[in-house]
Amino acid sequence: MLILGKEVSRETRIEIKQGVEDFSKKYGRVPCLAVIIVGEDPASQTYVRNKVLGCEEVSMKSLKYEFPNGTNQEDIANTIRTLVKDDNVDGILVQLPLPKGYDEKYLLDLIPETKDVDGFCASNIGLLALGTPRTISCTPFGVMRLLKSTGVDLAGKNAVVIGRSNTVGKPMAMLLLNANCTVTVCHSKTQNLKEITKNADILVVAIGRPKFLKGDMVKDGAIVIDVGINRVDGHLCGDVDFDEVEPKASFITPVPGGVGPMTISMLLYNTLMAAIAREENAR
Ligand code: GUN
């Protein structure tokens, strides 16, 4: 059965829009997300456009800062520093990956935990690891919402995450662990990958390799979540070979229309929560 990310996402955004309305009535302003993009990578441009459109959909304010590749890093850093001080800005997001030559850690470290709507900073990752999350990284957070929509009890399930990035794989593994799954994280150096994936009740694939997960790597009845968005010959495909895997899976996310829209919904949710927390802490 398909997990319709677009549908779950629509329901989530209706709730967020209501939250934005309540926030505006209470505090006399709208939550605001600032997005910074460096360079001309088409995939990043598309993601950022969808983030801005997402803000409009829930009546949130967005600010977009576009810097051409080659911009002096300190100019970008100074923009972040200004946004940090701006009381009307609730969330700051630097679209990743940055072009070669930029120091990702240096720029991300300028964003305080209170405005870290990506959930990337050390304290947000640390709190997640401790099982007491504050802001959760948007993609893994969205995946958890999609898993919840299946109605399947996650406790005790074998969950396998393929990919160990700081943005998806690692926080994903921690969320599944917090949900009482038995979690295995696989990556490019993993041996006997198929033996491990064949044992998975839940498979989350986030490696950025088109159609990597084949039918013979999947157990009958597994739940398969495809985080990949790859452009091949002009169309989008995931990290899962959908035609091979779909007949075996009990639930599977399509690409597009699966994890992607959910990621943006959780970003909007995180921005609303950051705005509420900032207002409540200001009083
Ligand atoms: N690039 C790909 N996914 C993400 C994300 O969730 N946040 C940011 N900032 N950049 C990304």
**258, pLDDT greater than 90:** yes
Q: Which tokens hold the place of 39?
A: 């360079």
Determine if ligand 1 sits within 6 Å of the CB of residue 93: yes
- Domain range 138-261, CATH architecture: 3-Layer(aba) Sandwich (3.40)
- Tell me what the mean pLDDT of segment 181-189 comes to: 98
Mean pLDDT on 19-24: 98
**Cβ–Cβ under 8 Å, residues 33 and 73:** no
What sign does the CA torsion over 198, 203, 207, 210 have? Answer: positive
Taking the model in full, what pTM does it have? Answer: 0.97
pLDDT, tens digit, 9 for 90 and up, residues 188-240 = 999 999 999 999 999 999 999 999 999 999 999 999 999 999 999 989 999 99
For 5, 48, 110, 175, 283, the CA distances from 143, given in Å and listed in that order, are 9, 20, 27, 10, 34
Residue 283: predicted pLDDT: 63
Topology of 26-112 in CATH?
A: Rossmann fold (3.40.50)
- Active-site pick, 118, 201, 226, 241: 118
Residues of 241-258 as b/e, b for ≥16 C-beta within 10 angstroms?
bbeebbebbebbbbbebb
Locate CATH 3.40.50.10860 in the chain: 26-112
pLDDT at 282: 82
DSSP letter at 97 equals S
87 in active site: no
Are 47 and 25 in contact by the 8 Å Cβ rule? The answer is: no
Contact 205, 178 (CB under 8 A): no
- The answer, yes or no, to whether any atom of ligand 1 lies below 6 A from the CB of 252, is no
